[in-house]
Amino acid sequence: QGYLAPPIFVVFFFGVFFKRLNAKGALWAMIVGFALGIFRMLVDTPVTLGLAGLQNGYPQGSFLWVINNIYFQYFSVLITIVSAIVMILVSHLTAEPNYQTIQNLTFETKTIEDRAATRASWSWKEVAGSGLVLVCIMGAYLYFRG
């Protein structure tokens, strides 16, 4: 999950905040991010399982040894950064999205009136329900954290 989640995060996070990003950028961010994640898993798996005579790992100093010895969370950060760069570059090298189609879908396309209307539509029951969900999530986290 640490290798496959970063491109998904990038697409959703950047997609909510930036109106200029488009579907082609999102697609290529996912492809490149997943490819990096799969590559890392293909490098790690033979060593972890001791396959193909790799019980002691790859030859020290080799490219695969370097990839295998990068701490997994650092590699996840690397995948996140690469996915973000790919998404931004591809989005800016291709056509802009139709802004009327994405109206109210990103923070940059919401008007003050739209935000006020959204806030006015909330009832105390919805806010209380959201608070209850957050309390349940925190309770589950605290219970299962070990």
Q: pLDDT tens digits for 77-127? A: 999 999 999 999 999 999 988 888 877 778 777 888 888 888 888 899 999
Structure confidence at residue 122 (pLDDT): 87
Structure confidence at residue 19 (pLDDT): 87
**The pTM is what?**
0.76
The three-state DSSP-derived secondary structure of the chain is CCCCHHHHHHHHHHHHHCCCCCHHHHHHHHHHHHHHHHHHHHHHHHHHHCHHHCCCCCCCCCHHHHHHHCCHHHHHHHHHHHHHHHHHHHHHHCCCCCCCCCCCCCHHHCCHHHHHHHHHCCCHHHHHHHHHHHHHHHHHHHHHCC
Percentage of residues in the chain with pLDDT exceeding 70? 99
pLDDT (mean) for 8-30: 93
